[in-house]
Amino acid sequence: MHRTTETVNAVFQPMAHAGQEGWQAQAEVFWEVFSVFAAVGILVGVVVVAYMMYNVYKYRDSEDASGEVESVEVGELPRDAMSKKSKKLFVSLALSAVIVIVLVVYAYTALLYVEAGPEVEEDAEMHVHVEGYQFGWDFEYENGHVEAGTMRIPENTVVRVTVTSRDVWHNFGISELRVKADSIPGQTAETWISAEEGEYLIECFELCGDAHSQMVATLDVMEEDEFEEWYEGTNPEDETEEAEG
């Protein structure tokens, strides 16, 4: 698995174009995969339609047409395997197979990257534990501070997220960042986030009760200095003393 992760990162790290050098956010990976498939699909479609129209024009019926055309039965291969038409047939089949295989391998590699996440130094990433409940979200940070309704993280930083639930099944998701993870009681799912500065909507994508549509929160991606200032003021011991006082 470790070797697989290294291979995946070796493929995608040179293609990173945002955030820290050497990795991509999940949304960027999915957009890149979509763009590649769309470009290949359009190219193949244009070539196929153009070639079809060319043959329709070239072999159109006319009064000057003469001679009989030998029809080919369904399932029959060309009799002369070395003929020009036979070569065209097998070349087109071979190219189609190569294109499909390359796209499948490319997409599978991208999904492995999304699942494993980028490889960064341990001190360059942070961890947040997410707990879903009817009908809200709690976010616990490494220092023990728990935030309700708003998840704050620094921009362009890999954030490892563990997700669970305290009551029924939920699903933690951020559509704009293409992030989703199951929130199941007694189980922990893992995902990761990295994003540019801004606010993003966190939603539950699993029908969990009559107020399911109201189970939302905010992901607040802050500048690094601003986040560090906020984080330093979230000492759970100080919060406990203030509550007791």
Based on C-alpha coordinates, what's the Rg of the chain?
A: 27
Q: What's residue 101's pLDDT? A: 95
Tens digits of residue pLDDT in 27-76? 888 899 999 999 999 999 999 999 889 888 887 776 665 556 566 666 66
Contact predicate 107/33, CB 8 Å: yes
Q: Which residue has the higher pLDDT, 96 or 163?
A: 163
Which token pair is 190?
């893992």
Bridge partner residues of 222 (DSSP): 154
Nearest to 117 by CA among 75, 157, 173: 157
Contact predicate 162/185, CB 8 Å: no
Count of other CB atoms within 10 angstroms of residue 144:
12
Q: Which residue has the higher pLDDT, 121 or 223?
A: 223
Cis ω before 135 (30° cut-off from 0): yes
φ, ψ of residue 132 in degrees (nearest 5): -95, 150
**3-state SS class at 97:** helix
Residue type, 62: S
* Angstrom distance (rounded) from CA 109 to CA 100: 14
* Residue matched to tokens 């940070």: 141
Q: What's the average model confidence in pLDDT over 147-175?
A: 95
Tens digits of residue pLDDT in 205-244? 999 999 999 999 999 999 999 999 999 998 766 555 554 5
The DSSP annotation for 135-149 comes to TEEEEEETTS-EEES
Count of other CB atoms within 10 angstroms of residue 219:
21
Q: What is the mean pLDDT of the chain?
A: 82
